[in-house]
Every structure is written in C-alpha cells, then in structure tokens.
Amino acid sequence: MKRKRYTPEFKSQIVLEVLKEEKTMNEIASSHGIHVNQIRQWRNAFLEQMPLIFAKDNKKADQMKAEYED
C-alpha cells in the first residue's frame, strides 16, 4: 500500500484550522480523512518551528517575504 503524501500547503491549512479552534481535532481529522495523531504531529512541528520565522538571519523567511511582496 502506497503512503499518502501531503503538500506543505495542505499541512499548513490543516494546522491553521486546528489553531482557529472552531472544530475539534477529531472533527478536522475525520473531515479530511487524516488520523488525529498525524494532525497533532503537524501542529507540534509548526509550534516548535514558528519562532524561526521571526529570526533575523532566516533566509527562508526572507525568501517568503520577497515572494509575498512581489
């Protein structure tokens, strides 16, 4: 059986849904067909790496800013 692959954009969308707290994680998981533990992993990874976005020497953040401003 082949593993499902999710894009970073899709993962971000799911994490944002979780952070809005309009639905429970179980509701989000069932509506998207994803196991709730997977969503927890994505949320935890996001929360751990979020401070890196605001770091001054973060090249990825600079690139994202440049793309946004274009």
At 12-57, the pLDDT tens digits run 999 999 999 999 999 999 999 999 999 999 999 999 988 887 776 7
- Residue 42 · residue 34 · CB < 8 Å: no
**Band (67; pLDDT cuts 50, 70, 90):** confident
Q: Which two tokens stand for residue 22?
A: 């309009």
The span from the CA of 19 to the CA of 16, in Å, is 5
Which residues, at least 6 apart from 35, have a Cβ–Cβ distance to it below 8 Å? 29
**Band (60; pLDDT cuts 50, 70, 90):** low
Domain spans of the chain? 8-69
